[in-house]
Amino acid sequence: MSFMARTAKHYLVIKAVRLFRQELEKAGLDNLKILTEAGISIVGTYLDSCSPQEKGQIKRDLGTLLQMGVTPDMVFEELTRQMPELAPIIEKKEGYKKAEVEKLVSFLKEEKAK
């Protein structure tokens, strides 16, 4: 992969995570901590609260990232880099991060099937 392609991919990951971070900051870390401790998906909760138009935009954006080789794991890694206070919350509960990644992948597949 060329330097330009890697740079573009990295930029898109950072940009996507900034949008996620804004939504997470609106929710508040205490609320996120409560959700994770209860085993409730942050991703699922967020997607359930989105309108059909917002879900369509999210699907398109995530689909573009996937086409460029960006994985959901890369997004979560960047998210915990930008929000280090979120890392212990996500990593505290075993399998939580993996379940969140699977939730994102499932969302993309569900939307494609429609």
User: Residue 72 in contact with residue 105, Cβ under 8 Å?
Assistant: yes
Would you state the structure tokens that stand for residue 93, as one six-digit string?
């509960």
Instruction: For the chain, give the mean pLDDT.
Output: 84
* pLDDT, tens digit (0-9, with 9 covering 90-100), for 56-110: 988 888 888 888 888 888 888 888 888 888 888 888 778 888 898 898 888 888 7
Write phi, then psi, for 11 (nearest 5 degrees): -60, -45
Q: Where are the domains of the chain?
A: 3-113
pLDDT number for residue 112: 57
Report the alpha-carbon distance of residue 49 to residue 37 in Å, rounded. 20
User: What average pLDDT score do residues 1-24 get?
Assistant: 84
Report the alpha-carbon distance of residue 27 to residue 46 in Å, rounded. 9
pLDDT number for residue 65: 86
pLDDT band at 113 (very low <50, low <70, confident <90, very high): low
Q: What is the pTM of this model?
A: 0.74
pLDDT above 60 (res 114) = no
pLDDT band at 111 (very low <50, low <70, confident <90, very high): low
Report the alpha-carbon distance of residue 18 to residue 20 in Å, rounded. 5
User: What average pLDDT score do residues 37-52 get?
Assistant: 87
pLDDT number for residue 53: 94
Report the alpha-carbon distance of residue 83 to residue 106 in Å, rounded. 24
DSSP 40-55: --HHHHHHHHS-HHHH
